[in-house]
Amino acid sequence: MTLFERTASTYQQGAQTLPGAYYTDPQILDNEIERLFRRGWLCVGREDRVQEPGSYLLHERFGDTLMIVRGRDGQLRAFHNICRHRGTKICEASSGRFSGTIQCPYHAWTWSTDGQLVGAPHMQAVEGFRKADYPLLQLPLACWEGFIFVSHAEDPEPFAQAFAPLIGRLTRFGLPDLVRIDRKEYEVRANWKLIMQNYNECLHCPTIHPGLNQLLPYTSGANDLHAGPFLGGYMEITEGHESVTITGRRCGVTLGELSEQDQRRAYYYSFWPNMMLSLHPDYANWYTVWPITPERSLVICEWMVHPATLGSGYDPAGAVELWHMVNAEDWHICEMSHAGVSSRAYRPGPYSPRESIPAAWDREYLRALQHAH
């Protein structure tokens, strides 16, 4: 029986942490990239970064570079950043705007913003050559609440089906209208799964995040997504505080159309496989976690506010400052966790009832790996 078969068999009740090899074995990471990341829907950015026709942003992970392009027809598309002539990388800048067409800098093959080849110097002399046979290589793309998702699979599960539990669930927060105020990248010396598991519980908050725990007591609130690829729920903001900021005061205009109840809560959700979304009354922050090696991960975090916050007198820096501090605390304990699970002496340990969501995340991880075999 393989390690995976033994783990899946003993983990049916979600009672224990994963064996150490899941965090340290390069072959397991290769399997995760091929069977989980390349087959699912991955968040690659926000629509507000590519609003104008011809605008684009690049997304580079796992050896592939993608161009997310707003066509002249207004449609958003994802293309491999590869020339169909000799494979040259077309774009270098991480974002920008095409003046009219997309042109390879090597031999000037040129495409329209919808990916159709419109210019190929001297190829008219090649017998049988047809421009229609060489469009840019396109990937499936979908948008949800202002977020852009791409799949590397040729025929992925339809997005509306894959994201069915979330469709309409968070509309009240007005996420498509939010604007970015800050972005930070962190390199963490820990396996990507440890970061996702850490996000999915707050049992560690009193010891690791005493400041955060004063604003959001770890025993408050409840989970409303308990199983599957989407997990999380809400926590109650402590009486006397207005939001989850360094001062406890509001840092922006209320998001969307929130009830009084929602304005006393903070919501935290993880989306399979590597996205995390935190919703507060006056701002939102979201993360993506990208494995680099078994023991190194890249975490990208962005903060967003209602556009009316800008120039309103509010200072959103209080939200960024708090979470930059909390993030640093999380990354450090994740690195300590990775150091521990890398030891030969490590053995899987039991989850407590307060860790039901990371246990559910592990179950979904094993289910997804099994389904991909």
Residue 155, domain member (yes or no): no
Residue 190, domain member (yes or no): yes
Please report the pLDDT score of residue 13 as a whole number.
47
Please report the pLDDT score of residue 3 as a whole number.
52
Domain match, 224 and 354 both: yes
Please report the pLDDT score of residue 18 as a whole number.
96
Residue 157, domain member (yes or no): no
Domain boundary residue, one of 150, 180, 214? 150
Domain tally, the chain: 2
Domain of 110: which CATH number?
2.102.10.10
Domain match, 49 and 22 both: no
Domain match, 89 and 201 both: no
**DSSP string computed for 281-340:** SS-EEEEEEEEEETTEEEEEEEEEE-GGGTTSS--THHHHHHHHHHHHHHHHHHHHHHHH
d(CA 33, CA 259): 40
| Strand, helix or coil for residue 358 | helix
Residues 6+ away with beta carbon under 8 Å from 268: 199, 232, 233, 234, 235, 276, 277, 278, 279
Amino acid code (one letter) for 341: V
End-to-end CA distance of the chain: give it in Å, rounded: 15
Domain match, 126 and 269 both: no
Domain match, 123 and 15 both: no
Domain match, 122 and 174 both: no
Closest to 197 measured CA to CA, from 344, 352, 360: 360
Please report the pLDDT score of residue 4 as a whole number.
46
Residue 158, domain member (yes or no): no
Please report the pLDDT score of residue 221 as a whole number.
81
Domain match, 125 and 172 both: no
Residue 344, domain member (yes or no): yes
pLDDT in tens, the chain (373 residues): 455 445 555 544 447 999 999 999 999 999 999 999 999 999 999 999 999 999 999 999 999 999 999 999 999 999 999 999 999 999 999 999 999 999 999 999 999 999 999 999 999 999 999 999 999 999 999 999 999 999 999 999 999 999 999 999 999 999 999 999 999 999 999 999 999 999 999 999 999 999 999 999 989 889 999 999 999 999 999 999 999 999 999 999 999 999 999 999 999 999 999 999 999 999 999 999 999 999 999 999 999 999 999 989 999 999 999 999 999 999 999 999 999 999 999 999 999 999 999 999 999 999 999 875 5
d(CA 238, CA 7): 40
Residue 160, domain member (yes or no): no
* E strand or H helix that includes residue 117: strand 117-119
Domain match, 59 and 123 both: yes
- In DSSP terms, 265 is beta-bridged to 236
- In order of 25, 254, 277, 367, the CA distances from 35 in angstroms are 15, 40, 23, 12
Domain boundary residue, one of 118, 150, 182? 150
| Strand, helix or coil for residue 270 | strand
Q: Which residue has the tokens 């290769």?
A: 30
d(CA 278, CA 9): 33
Please report the pLDDT score of residue 373 as a whole number.
53
Domain match, 320 and 344 both: yes
Domain boundary residue, one of 116, 150, 184? 150
Q: Which residue has the tokens 């590519």?
A: 50
Domain of 228: which CATH number?
3.90.380.10
Residue 303, domain member (yes or no): yes
The whole domain housing 295 covers 3-39+168-372
Domain match, 35 and 63 both: no
Domain match, 144 and 14 both: no
Residue 163, domain member (yes or no): no
Please report the pLDDT score of residue 10 as a whole number.
52
pTM: 0.93
Domain match, 180 and 272 both: yes
